[in-house]
């Protein structure tokens, strides 16, 4: 029997439903890292975990809770998708370092140190000045390393990201962003940032969110795959994966919550604008979990080897999950 | 190699310290169910879990977190004591049934449906009228059955306890109490209560707390062991274990917290009295975890077989933990 070719997406925040869970199966998705908190505090995040527990009870044939890489194997064997939890902000741990281990016990496997703004731990990518990792940030990175909660710097400033990659004793991730050189969006990452993360064994997940794509919603599959191939040449294909940032079926009120939370009384358009405040339309070649085959085909056609393509489509995240989620020691 | 003879205590609430953890090792204790909440709400209980996490980090050679019976085997192999968590009140789940699964994921393995007073789930043993299991109580028992959180009725009223034993699809426990016929304390259990629990596969843990003992602090080892032997004849030795209720080194402010919590502004003496409001002195043959050997010797001398004695000292709890803590299905 040939080895399984994994399909893993390292970031989604869909408006979850049976329809979307079935589309994961149609698309052959073995595992997804889902966001369960943007600005939620500890208790609110626990309520989101409870909602997922109800979905696991309700759809036991489609999804299964993921805690370890072995849960992906189990999902593959039983024809389901393993769901791994993460936070896009450290708000769930509030000001309490003890909540890092508590949240890992509850299944959290990725935590961004910031979401656009300054946090207690680091500086977000929308702040004017990035003062780097804070005193508490250094302590929390050490604790995350100890328990097996992966540092994710997708929405962090450059200096904070480079420092996190150096301070962390275990590889870190940028789960969803693209190279700034391809499309100079604020959220895309410059060479020195990607280098710092991948040099230390970390991962970059390519985003399909239109604001991160050259030509936005009109970005072609060829342009996207060509960018992936160039990134593989520069940093090594083994450090790359997909982190689609798919926010399928979400109402525009959700992107407003992501951007505004409770930190301002004004509207902040983030990557959008007053003229275009909502979720942008996805490219026509990536609208749901059924479309991962398009990316795989595009990567092969751009000249990447089948080994490189398999790694980027899921094998690299599988290895990263296997190493990253276990407690240290 | 002979099979291991387990020593397991199904209830303690000591003022934990390195000294007490070392006494557990001196006494050869393989596992202890410790109380981590009396009146604490969800967030406060999580703080108590965080404190235990620090002790596990600080004393890795003495204690290890217990979640499954296999963790007791691991503790035995590595010369440590496995610590299992429980609540003496359902206050940690507040009014949210989703917290049952969350708390099980965090390690909770026993939950009393009441502590002396009426709760959202059932009636406590100090209430005048016992209306039995509530609407929410029936739902929570089913959810506890599903996830593997054991129903403990040590501080509940008779009717509530008998109903819980009948409603629960899995065996329940009275972790710490003695037969009312031996010593007619309010907290000790009448025949129909012990029968209902043990008839359905449940367990009774014998308490060493002086208010539960004939002659209190002056109770003799012989009287205690004779009572155990008579209880074994009546209900079957396989349903019996130890739940010492040892509250070693606790200041009297702690027994006041247990009794009064935040539910009254007046003093409630519980099993004590205005003349004797504090913790009673332990019998001289059971003052710490080093004294389990006295009980084992006493049980043998009272005529119990070595098989019965081994079961009561830990083997019965081991089997109960193995069956009771796993998710259903």
ipTM: 0.92
CB pair distance less than 8 Å for A106 and B105:
yes
Three-class secondary structure of residue B143 per DSSP: helix
Residue A255 contacts residue A276 (beta carbons within 8 Å): no
Ordered by where they begin, the domains of chain A are 8-324 (3.20.20.140)
Closest Cβ–Cβ partner in B53, B54, B106 for A106: B106
Q: Percent of chain B having pLDDT more than 90?
A: 96
* B43, B51, B107, best to mutate vs chain A, most A CBs in 10 Å: B43
Residue A3, pLDDT score: 80
CB contact under 8 A, A46 and B107: no
- Cβ–Cβ below 8 Å for B101 and A42: no
pLDDT at A292 over 60: yes
Q: Residue B329's pLDDT is what? A: 80
Find how far residue B311's CA is from the centre of its chain: 16
pTM of the model: 0.95
The b/e string for A62-78 (b: 16+ C-beta within 10 A; e otherwise) is bbbbbbbbebbbebbee
Residue A147 has pLDDT above 70, yes or no: yes
**What pLDDT digit, counting tens, does each position of B4-43 carry?**
999 999 999 999 999 999 999 999 999 999 999 999 999 9
| Inter-helix orientation angle A42-58/B98-105, to 10° | 100
Residue A268: alpha-carbon gap to chain centroid: 22
Neighbours of B92 (CB within 10 A): 27
Band of the pLDDT at B64, cuts 50, 70, 90?
A: very high
Region B142-149: mean pLDDT is 98
> Residue A50 and residue B101: Cβ atoms within 8 Å?
yes
Mean per-residue pLDDT, B166-189: 98
Calpha distance A119→A128 (Å, rounded): 14
Query: Phi/psi at A41 (nearest 5 deg)?
Result: -80, -175
Position of tokens 């390393």?
Answer: A145
Strands B108-112 and B81-87: parallel
Radius of gyration of chain A measured on its C-alpha atoms: 18
* pLDDT one-digit tens code per residue, A56-114: 999 999 999 999 999 999 999 999 999 999 999 999 999 999 999 999 999 999 999 99
Lookup: tokens for B88: 């003496």
Reply yes or no on whether the pLDDT at B1 is more than 90.
Answer: no
Confidence of residue B2 (pLDDT cuts 50, 70, 90): low
Cα separation, A227 vs A219, whole angstroms: 11
Q: Mean pLDDT, chain A, as a whole number?
A: 97
Q: Is A42 in Cβ contact with B46 (below 8 Å)?
A: yes
Q: Which residues does chain A have within 8 Å of residue B107's beta carbon, measured at their own beta carbons? A: 105
Contact state of B43 with A43 under an 8 Å Cβ cutoff: yes
Q: Which residues of B touch A49 (CB under 8 A)?
A: 102
Does A49 sit within 8 Å of B96, measured CB to CB?
A: no
How far apart (Å, rounded) are the C-alpha atoms in residues A132 and A292? 36
Select from B46, B53, B102 the Cβ nearest to the Cβ of A49. Answer: B102
In chain B, count of helices (H) and strands (E)?
12, 9
CA-closest candidate to residue B138, choices B106, B109, B158, B166: B166
Measured CA to CA, the distance from residue A235 to residue A223 in angstroms comes to: 18
pLDDT tens per residue, range A225-284:
999 999 999 999 999 999 999 999 999 999 999 999 999 999 999 889 998 899 999 999
What is the predicted pLDDT for the residue at B3? 81
Contact yes or no for B92/B40 (Cβ under 8 A): yes
Tell me the average pLDDT across B307-321. Answer: 98
The pLDDT value given to residue B259 = 93
Residue B192 has pLDDT above 90, yes or no: yes
**Angstrom distance (rounded) from CA B249 to CA B184:** 27
N-term to C-term CA, chain B: 34
pLDDT, residue A2, reads 62
Average pLDDT, chain B: 97
Chain B residues within 8 Å of chain A (Cβ atoms)? 42-43, 46-47, 49-50, 53-54, 96, 98-99, 101-102, 105-107
Task: Determine whether the interchain pair B53/A98 forms a contact, defined as Cβ–Cβ distance below 8 Å.
Answer: yes
């Amino acid at each position: 029997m040939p080895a399984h070719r994994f399909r893993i997406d390292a970031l989604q925040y869909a408006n979850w439903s049976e329809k979307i869970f079935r589309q994961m199966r149609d698309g052959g998705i073995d595992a997804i890292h889902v966001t369960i908190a943007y600005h939620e505090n500890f208790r609110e995040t626990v309520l989101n975990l409870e909602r997922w527990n109800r979905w696991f009870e309700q759809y036991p044939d489609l999804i299964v809770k993921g805690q370890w890489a072995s849960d992906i194997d189990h999902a593959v064997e039983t024809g389901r998708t393993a769901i791994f939890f993460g936070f896009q902000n450290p708000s769930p741990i509030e000001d309490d370092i003890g909540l890092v281990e508590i949240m890992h016990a509850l299944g959290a496997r990725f935590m961004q140190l910031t979401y656009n703004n300054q946090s207690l731990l680091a500086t977000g990518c929308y702040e004017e000045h990035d003062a780097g990792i804070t005193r508490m940030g250094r302590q929390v990175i050490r604790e995350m390393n100890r328990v097996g909660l992966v540092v994710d710097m997708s929405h962090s400033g450059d200096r904070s990201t480079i420092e996190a990659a150096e301070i962390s004793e275990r590889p870190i991730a940028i789960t969803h962003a693209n190279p700034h050189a391809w499309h100079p969006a604020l959220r895309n990452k410059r060479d020195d940032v990607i280098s710092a993360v991948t040099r230390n064994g970390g991962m970059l997940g390519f985003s399909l969110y239109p604001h991160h794509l050259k030509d936005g919603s009109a970005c072609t599959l060829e342009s996207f795959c060509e960018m992936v191939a160039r990134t593989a040449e520069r940093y090594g294909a083994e450090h790359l994966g997909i982190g689609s940032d798919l926010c399928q079926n979400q109402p525009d009120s959700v992107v407003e919550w992501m951007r505004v939370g409770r930190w301002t009384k004004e509207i902040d358009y983030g990557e959008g604008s007053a003229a275009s405040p909502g979720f942008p339309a996805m490219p026509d070649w990536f609208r749901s979990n059924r479309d991962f085959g398009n990316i795989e085909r595009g990567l092969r056609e751009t000249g990447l080897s089948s080994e490189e393509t398999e790694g980027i489509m899921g094998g690299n995240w599988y290895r990263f999950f296997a190493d990253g989620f276990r407690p240290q020691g």
